Structure 1
Amino acid sequence: MKVLFLGGAGMIGSAAAAEAVTRGMDVTVVTRSEPARPVAPGVRALRADVKDPDQLRSVLGREEFDAVVNWVGFTPDDLRGHPEFFTGSAGQYVFISTCSVFGRPVPQLPVTESSPRRQPVFGYPRDKVACEVFLEEAYRAADLPLTIVRPSHVYDRTVIPILSGWTAIERMRTGRPVVVHGDGTSLWSLMHSRDFANAFVPLLGNDHAVGESVNVVSGDILTWDQIHLALAAAAGVRNPVLRHRSSESIAVELPNWGDVLEHDFRHSMLFDTSKLRSLVPGFAPAVSFAEGAREVLAHYDADPARRVVNHDLDRAFDRLLE
């Protein structure tokens, strides 16, 4: 089975490529520059701007693929020419979107693939909604064999999955309070990149997924306090001090956090995984967040250069706690 990744040399793309090779797929990755992460052994790496169909033609020629995955479509302009180029030369065109496209607050939980998509303010999910609409029209009008995949919050050992990153870990280890938005009880879903890859790769070349959107989420539900406490335990901190502040007050001190808190993290998110499990029978997440958190801390503790404190953030936390 031949698979083409447009982009996909980042965290989740590289995990998916490695899993696809393990399953015996012939994987080609096209990136504009040297990938940020090493490509898996056995992956063919090509250079081109994937947003430019002329450059794609120059490196791919008339080659056909069973599945094409676009990891780097962020606005409809990034997708211009793709329906024409890949309709007829790809058995499936998979667009990587995001579960952030669902309007907050969600009118009904759990979130399903048919939950309302709406985001008039927050730029990243707003543009992903526009991409989905653009490609859906190509599916309806021009027979693009489209599958939309929506990850939620994916992490691996290199990612501390909270906005405050290593600064929060350092504060915990030195006995200082860490700010958590709201009252820490809103519900969230995290997924390890290995689990994402195990759920995602079987969708490639899956005829039942064409014409569908699929939320690829773990179903593992945690509160934001639990997320912080799991990271603290992995860092060897038994009794971390968590202090709660409203999203609005945090945004006053940290304006760049405003949109993501207001339109994403502050809302409880529960996902129905029925469609994913019907398309990938037997899938179940294998990496608990407790295990994932230990991987994260081991990675950061292995190299002092990775343990960087954001001093502006550190001071902003102190002001919020005064």
Structure 2
Amino acid sequence: MTQNLATDGAPRAAVDDGRNRFATLTFQRDVAAPASVLWKAWTDPAARAVWAAPSSAVTVEFLEADTKVGGREISLCKGEDHPDIRCECGWLELQPELLSVNYEVISSEGVTQSAALVTAEISGTQERSRLVLTVQLSSLAEDMVAGYREGFGAGLDNLAGAAERTMVLQRVIRAPRSVVWGAWMNPETLPQWWGPEGFSCRTQRIDLRAGGEWVFDMIAPDGTVFPNHHLYNEVRPDERLGYTLLWGENGPKHADAWASFEEQDGATKVTLGMVFTTAAEFQEAKGFGAVELGQQTLGKLERFIASR
């Protein structure tokens, strides 16, 4: 990821005249979130996009993101005073909630700056977790050790904060993945089941594609209206979708969200994740029962599919 760069987004040489071409760096973060949530924050493209930039002076544009063994992630790190930095990450091993291994290659203007092997080990409980990251670095065009220390340090601080405001819901639905995906990504069927028990949806506009949107009201059993606006930024058929939640049409951002669909012995494991914009919003959502309400929504999806 781009967090191996200095916090201004530029490669940075160490103070030892560039003679230290090889290094092994270790980072550790303790996080107030379950290991299962930290794993999703570390590996899921939608969550990674939230914390990838090491500082506010840097923006990260994701060109490709496919978190699976053999998949890769390509991003551009952009700052005002330097050329774009290209980061290619390739996933070599993924053991959910335990271990990931990936290679990382950094280049700028067609020149490879560094290559690294990154190993992440996750452990913990239902309350807290720990990430231990080992980076085996080879600096090529210049010494990158200082930049890796600074950039990864800032990025992992961001990761810890994002994980602590991330909510993850999962449900196994006994239907083929194509059927579950079809019920979710059909503009006629999505409004029929979306929302907790007793809620209904009133759609104004719906366009379920990358770059599309869904503007709608959720109506509670007592008639209370909750305006919603979903902006879709990623759609990978039968696999995953990513979107932004706004409070009403073009309103303030509420969360960055994603849904993924995995085949599991003829059934489909659905994961719905949300990285709330602030810790306060996460705590408020958790307090009013967002986990239980979200599970009700997935339960309605399961019943809808079973009834067809």
- TM-score for the superposition, normalised by structure 1: 0.27
Q: Pick the structure with more helix per residue.
A: 1
TM value normalised by structure 2: 0.28
